[in-house]
Amino acid sequence: MELLINGQKLEAGRLENRLLVYVLRDQLGLTGTRLGCGAGFCGSCTVWLDGVPVRSCVTPASEAAGRAITTIEGLAGTYPAAELHPVQQAFLEAQVPQCGWCMSGQIMTAAAFVNANPAPSDEEILTAMEKNLCRCGTYHRIKQAVRRAAELARAQA
Ligand code: FES
Ligand code: FES
């Protein structure tokens, strides 16, 4: 079956009884989406369905059929005002990643948040990001980068 991923229709094979993260990574080679806990707790597998973040490790692939899937590989293309999404730019500037494993999930979560709220308070940033875990403890830099991303988004609006 075809899935619409990052604006392209891709043949994903049979979707029944398969979780979206495995279809993306194993079937389609989109390994930017990371598998962490595999149980919906850590957020490292976050992608968007119709612009809304979901945890692909607990999302049946069949739920994604007929919807627009966005992964980290396609995020920059969602933001025509700049080469990168402001969240990507801000994470680079702040050198947020340590091991990097959680980062695509952090960025996909933060990008949806900044798109919806380009003038967030620090408390709103913490609330938006608190369910994305980082074993390396980069939380302080994540908060700084999301704040900076919101500034960039406002400047580019
Ligand atoms: S790998 Fe999906 S939430 Fe942890
Ligand atoms: S940067 Fe290592 S888990 Fe977050």
Contacts of 142 (CB under 8 A, 6+ apart): 96, 106, 110, 129, 132, 134
- With a 6 Å cutoff on the Cβ, whether 42 touches ligand 1 is yes
Looking at the fold, whether 96 and 54 belong to one and the same domain comes out as no
Q: Average the pLDDT over 45-51 and give the result.
A: 98
- With a 6 Å cutoff on the Cβ, whether 98 touches ligand 2 is yes
SS3 11: strand
Looking at the fold, whether 83 and 33 belong to one and the same domain comes out as no
Tell me, in angstroms, the distance from the centre of ligand 1 to residue 34's CA. 8
Looking at the fold, whether 121 and 133 belong to one and the same domain comes out as yes
pLDDT, tens only, 56-86: 999 999 999 999 999 999 999 998 888 999 9
* Closest ligand relative to 137 C-alpha: 2
Looking at the fold, whether 35 and 100 belong to one and the same domain comes out as no
Structural domain ending residue among the three candidates 29, 49, 74: 74
Q: Write down the pTM of the prediction.
A: 0.97
Please tell me the predicted confidence (pLDDT) of residue 82: 83
pLDDT, tens only, 2-37: 999 999 999 999 999 999 999 999 999 999 999 999
Please tell me the predicted confidence (pLDDT) of residue 114: 98
Structural domain ending residue among the three candidates 74, 105, 136: 74
Residue 121 pLDDT more than 90?
yes
Mean pLDDT of the chain: 97
HSE-CB at 38 with a 13 A cutoff on CA atoms is 3
Looking at the fold, whether 43 and 114 belong to one and the same domain comes out as no
Looking at the fold, whether 125 and 86 belong to one and the same domain comes out as yes
Please tell me the predicted confidence (pLDDT) of residue 81: 80
Contacts of 29 (CB under 8 A, 6+ apart): none
Show the domain range for 69: 2-74
Read off the amino acid at residue 138. Answer: T
- With a 6 Å cutoff on the Cβ, whether 140 touches ligand 2 is no
Tell me, in angstroms, the distance from the centre of ligand 1 to residue 53's CA. 12
- With a 6 Å cutoff on the Cβ, whether 36 touches ligand 1 is yes
Looking at the fold, whether 33 and 94 belong to one and the same domain comes out as no
* Closest ligand relative to 36 C-alpha: 1
Q: Average the pLDDT over 77-97 and give the result.
A: 94
